Structure 1
């Protein structure tokens, strides 16, 4: 695939044009990623000191419900969001995946997986943090990750 970017100060707004030989799955995936990135929300969160921050969705690698709090994990730290997990799930980009009743992860941050004999998958993120899937979600995880 050839990628070309033309910059022009005469343009009044940005425009993205994709030219391809025929309709294919790779182009569909690329369009989904671009749309997800462009339309993603940011979240007003607080840290453990109650300082308020705005976190973009693409910076989040995990939403975990722990100790009656919805915690957001990013490479910059852990934050708390005053929202229910199922409400957050409604607005997530397509590369987010629910792996248990209490956790949704960003598949873009997965470094590797460890498949255990008991049907539980250990998920290792790019920052070496890890989490475990639930067996109840195993089928949907395998489908989403094409295992």
Structure 2
């Protein structure tokens, strides 16, 4: 079941990326009402996709933390791009202008009291899973492309079941 849950959360994260793409398609600065309707539509599309993949309820937001986000999790940046809540947990995606080394050092510091369970280093992408006793598990994914693009840091939060 845990493997299936992780696959659904990863799939949900991809759906959030689709929603971000959709909101980028409706950037008419002249008409704020159209912008808001487009964003609301993209959020609904993302929620529908995620609910279909997870067989449960989903909530997608742009620019804010989900309700009930654990206070013991420190984000590397306040620049929240998207967040999502599904039955199994939460996902929060932020951007940050720093490079991979600085972000890794920040994440290691933020989770210094947690047990590190797994690490996968793929060069421009690093995934680390942390566990706080038996109450909470967090997978942190850092994508820091070389060049001038901002890094993206995703937090997948899975409370104990």
| Structure of higher RCO (CA pairs closer than 8 Å, 6+ residues apart) | 2
TM band (smaller chain): under 0.3
| Structure with a larger share of its residues in helix | 2
- TM normalised by structure 1 equals 0.27
Rg: which structure is higher? 1
